[in-house]
Amino acid sequence: MKQLKQLEDLKVKGKRVFTRVDFNVPIKNGKVTDELRIAAALPTIKYLIKQGAIVILASHLGRPDGKPTEKYSLEPVAVSLSELLNKEVIFIHDCVGQKVVDRINKLVPGQIALLENLRFHAEEEANDPDFAKQLASLADVYVDDAFAVAHRAHASVVGIPKYLPSVSGKLIEAEVNNLSSLLTHPKHPFVAIIGGAKISDKIAFMHQLMSKADTLIIGGAMANTFLAAQGHNMQASVQDTKGQAVAKAILEEAHHKEIKIVMPLDVVVADKAEDGAKHRTVMVGLLQPGDMALDLGPLTTTAINEALQGAKTVFWNGTLGLTEVKAFSKSSRDLAEHLAKLRAMTIIGGGDTAGFIDEVHLHDKFDFVSTGGGAALELLAGKTLPALTPLYK
Ligand code: ADP
Ligand code: 3PG
Ligand code: MG
């Protein structure tokens, strides 16, 4: 098997280390509400500090479309990280430019700086070579520990390694090792549960996952697209009209291959996605104009639990409902509790899903909780992740 270049393969003492992390975490009223992805980067950060490196951290947050946007600033993350490390984290208000260079030049070994959101520059997602070069010029070596964004060919993950000696951090190493073992020999029956909202990103990979899974459970906003593909009027629900053709093809393939598909039977609907919104449970064929399907109903939960009976491996990515709002988090909570008791190898993936598992205090009950959503799914589907390519020996 291909081996990743590891942190220990790199001399970092006294060096400026550009460390790409995935600090794409939920933030409410200027405060990080789930620190899982920050905590997951600590082993690498602590190692670098111990070795006497100058640690320059960089990440994206949300999808600000190439423009500085206050709500997507990484500044609250610097506060969280500093508390977790019990150490000063210097926040730098941009990621490129002379001011950034001047501030970085003043750093001494053992210090940590966090740059502002890389996606405030459109060049990041466009994988612009000059932008990558500017980022690379801030450091002597490069460490990639941003597993959750490894499926994106963006400047900070595929561009910088062209200019600097590059290795993987400890999180990427753990993620790849754990997920690869699932990929190579999953015990059957293998049940995959896919929900969440990043439909267009994930739908194509469900296809490939089907060559491995025996049962596919579909929930969340993802399910709305599948239900619409079956002819249901999902009214105001979050859905991906362009994804309907893929959804149809997946359902047909499942039929031919005799893969069991579990889809919502009943859903919780409301006309507002917020706390206190009036909601009711209806069968999927009975949504009224203005209704949004925001959670799965109790009949569906029963069907899901039945489909999980006897499973030996379970992979779950994407919450089954709008878990940020308590009224719409019930089916995800029920599933988490059910999986926690199941005698199967259980793997959770995704920033929001993993965050939710944390929130309900069940993190320890699973065999592996991946910080990656799309990235974990693509790896499991057998795709080469662009950001990993430069990190192999
Ligand atoms: P992950 O981060 O675990 O990979 P995603 O980002 O794809 O998962 O999806 C999680 C998001 O999906 C959450 O913000 C959740 O509120 C949202 N979501 C799930 N179900 C629905 C739904 N029915 N309608 C709207 N949003 C939903
Ligand atoms: C994630 O949350 O899945 C990663 O941080 C990637 O974010 P993206 O889907 O906006 O590229
Ligand atoms: Mg997410």
Residue 137 CA to residue 288 CA, distance in Å, equals 56
**Residues whose beta carbon lies within 6 Å of some atom of ligand 2:** 22, 24, 63, 148-149, 152, 198, 351, 373-374
Question: Given the structure tokens 């109790």, which residue do they identify?
Answer: 298
The residue whose CA has the least distance to atom 16 of ligand 1 is: 322
Comparing 217 with 205, the larger pLDDT belongs to 217
> Mean pLDDT, to the nearest integer, of 90-116?
98
Cβ of 300 below 6 Å from ligand 1: no
Q: Which pLDDT score, from 0 to 100, does residue 136 have? A: 98
> Mean pLDDT, to the nearest integer, of 215-219?
98
pLDDT tens across 376-391, in order? 999 988 889 999 999 9
> Mean pLDDT, to the nearest integer, of 247-255?
94
Q: Which pLDDT score, from 0 to 100, does residue 100 have? A: 98
Q: Which pLDDT score, from 0 to 100, does residue 2 have? A: 84
Q: What is the mean pLDDT of the chain?
A: 96
The answer to whether residue 1 scores a pLDDT higher than 80 is no
Distances from the Cα of 312 to the Cαs of 213, 217, 335, 380, in angstroms? 11, 15, 16, 16
Residue 72 CA to residue 264 CA, distance in Å, equals 33
Q: Which pLDDT score, from 0 to 100, does residue 120 have? A: 98
Element (H, E) at 133: helix 129-136
> Mean pLDDT, to the nearest integer, of 142-159?
98
> Mean pLDDT, to the nearest integer, of 26-35?
93
Q: 271 by DSSP, 3-state: which? A: coil
Q: Which pLDDT score, from 0 to 100, does residue 196 have? A: 96
- 318 alpha carbon to ligand 3 midpoint, in Å? 7
312 CB contacts (<8 Å, ≥6 apart)?
Answer: 186, 187, 188, 189, 190, 344, 345
- Check if the beta carbon of residue 60 is closer than 8 Å to that of residue 117: yes
Tell me which residues are annotated as active site. Answer: 37, 198, 351, 374
pLDDT tens across 47-60, in order? 999 999 999 999 99
Q: Which pLDDT score, from 0 to 100, does residue 208 have? A: 82
pLDDT tens across 157-211, in order? 999 999 999 999 999 999 999 998 777 788 999 999 999 999 988 988 888 888 8
Share of the chain above pLDDT 90, in %: 93
Closest approach atom of ligand 2 to CA 62? 10
Phi, psi of 171 (to 5 degrees): -70, -45
Q: Which pLDDT score, from 0 to 100, does residue 200 have? A: 86
- 350 alpha carbon to ligand 3 midpoint, in Å? 6
The answer to whether residue 332 scores a pLDDT higher than 90 is yes
